[in-house]
Amino acid sequence: MSRLARSLARSSPTWSLPAPARTAVLALGAQSALALCYLWATPAGLSTPAMLAVPFVWVTVAAVAVRHARRPAGSRRVRWLAAGVGVAYALGLAWLMGGISPTTGATSGVDVALLPPGWGPALRYRGAELSLTLLPYRLVGVATLGYLLSLSVRDVAESGLSAGLGGLFALGSCAGCALPLVAAVGGALGGAGLGLGAAPTIGGGTYLVGTAAYLLAVGLFVSRPGRYIVR
């Protein structure tokens, strides 16, 4: 290589994707590979493009948020308290979404519904008191929202409400919790049920509304107005 070429190579600016974008690309690649394996190994079919996109959006956003959200330190007691709040919220969200419900009828057992990728494989369990319907993308999304809420709780504990707007904004970001709940109730009223043995449908757009609410909630949790995404 000539001296001029080496000089140009050293002086040329290097460019790379931001870290969150790289995480998103990796998450999309992993999901695509898993979806192809799932379709190859099972008789599960495909759905409409919009329905297929919903799980990819939820899981990709979850991966980026969990990987790059700011993690306040906090004492062990604060971390346990925050984790408890996050778990309680996730369970409440799963209940309103229909993932957890009281058992109706006398039958019990476990089965797997081979729904389209992301929606399936859906694990369904019916016990004496409770029934569970676990769709992969919603399981990831609900767990992510619970985890992000726990980070917000730790942020408030770290900054303190008396510290000013930073703590207040961090607490106020929890208003995003209500958005997926409203969408979930709307989906239930619209008849877009889950775990009924049939492939899910748009149900008048309730799943798309739920996805928009999920994105907004994750954005509020991650940004925690006055805080910023890092690394």
CA 16, CA 109: separation in Å to the nearest integer?
Answer: 50
* pLDDT score, position 159: 67
Q: Which of 25-29, 61-65, 109-113 has the lowest mean pLDDT?
A: 109-113
Structural domain boundaries enclosing 150: 20-100+135-223
3-state DSSP assignment of residue 190:
coil
Per-residue model confidence as pLDDT tens digits over 128-152: 788 888 999 999 999 998 998 888 8
How many domains would you assign to the chain? 1
134 beta partners: 123
Cβ atoms within 10 A of the Cβ of 103, count? 15
In a domain, 149, yes or no: yes
* pLDDT score, position 181: 56
Q: How far apart are the first and last CA of the chain?
A: 36
In a domain, 109, yes or no: no
Task: Give whole-number Cα distances, 213 to 43, 201, 227, in Å.
Answer: 32, 18, 21
Phi (first) and psi of residue 198, to 5 degrees? -105, 155
Per-residue model confidence as pLDDT tens digits over 51-98: 889 999 999 999 999 999 888 887 889 899 989 989 998 898 888 877
* pLDDT score, position 14: 60
Closest by CA to 115, choosing from 143, 97, 98, 135, is: 135
In a domain, 204, yes or no: yes
3-state DSSP assignment of residue 2:
coil
CA 146, CA 93: separation in Å to the nearest integer?
Answer: 9
In a domain, 40, yes or no: yes
* pLDDT score, position 37: 95
8 A C-beta contact, residue 148 and residue 220: no
Query: 166 vs 15, which has greater pLDDT?
Result: 15
In a domain, 144, yes or no: yes
- Write down the residue that tokens 């190579």 correspond to: 9
Q: How many residues does the chain have?
A: 231
Taking the CA of residue 120 as centre, how many other CA atoms within 13 Å lie in the half-sphere pointing to its CB? 26
Q: Which two tokens stand for residue 15?
A: 């460019």
8 A C-beta contact, residue 158 and residue 74: yes
* pLDDT score, position 174: 54
In a domain, 68, yes or no: yes
Q: Which two tokens stand for residue 177?
A: 């919790």
Would you state the torsion angle of the CA atoms of residues 180, 182, 184, 185, taken in this order, to the nearest 10 degrees?
A: 170
In a domain, 215, yes or no: yes
In a domain, 110, yes or no: no
- Amino acid at residue number 13: P
